[in-house]
Amino acid sequence: MSLCFRWVAAAGAATMLCAAPALGEGYFLSMEIGQGEIDIDNTDQLPFEPTGATDDDAGAFSIGGGYRFANGAWVDLAFTDLDTVELFDIGDRFELSSVKVGVGYRIAAEDNFGFLVKTGINFWELETRESALFNPGPEAQRDFDGTDLFFELGAEYQVGERWSIHLVHSRETNDL
């Protein structure tokens, strides 16, 4: 079974704030908030029959840190969490957590603007839980985990000496 995860962020909804010189060398902290999608292609390994669609929108959050070199390259470590929002436990719940180790590079376009590319290793865990509303018995649950590659493409705009805003698309295919 394949689990596809896409993180598409809008400029107003997702920002990456670097608490180091945004375009210089140094350590940085980052935070990303956005929208993700958890898409389960093959439901054979789930411990329950899904009550709805298995490509759910999810709230996405990431926090991390790393080191940016003067030449535009950087290394980082980040924790990411995607969680489907189910009010009153009406739908099945899917939560994807991961720890990412990445290497990236900033391609300068102008003084304050540049393009970002990043790749790395993603250590992930998917937790599934059956809906309580349409389930006559106890809730079925199952956890999956694995290690896969990821890549990201994006743009960066420096808004101050120590702050920048990022618009990033992250792509992962996590095989169960």
Residues 6+ apart with CB under 8 A from 137: none
pLDDT given for residue 6 in this prediction: 39
Q: Model pTM?
A: 0.73
Beta bridge partners of 10: none
Distance, in Å, from the CA atom of 33 to the CA atom of 10, rounded to the nearest integer, reads: 10
Instruction: Please report, as a single letter, which amino acid is at residue 176.
Output: L
Provide the pLDDT for residue 141: 77
The strand pairing partners of 128, in sequence order, are 94, 142
pLDDT at 104: 96
Identify the pLDDT of residue 39.
67
Give the side-chain half-sphere CA count within 13 A for 96: 33
The per-residue pLDDT string of the chain (176 residues; one tens digit each, 9 = 90 and over) reads 344 443 433 333 333 444 444 557 888 888 888 777 766 666 666 766 665 555 556 778 889 999 999 899 999 999 988 876 565 556 677 788 899 999 999 999 988 899 999 999 999 998 877 766 666 666 777 788 889 899 999 999 988 877 888 888 887 777 66
Distance CA 171, CA 173 (A): 7
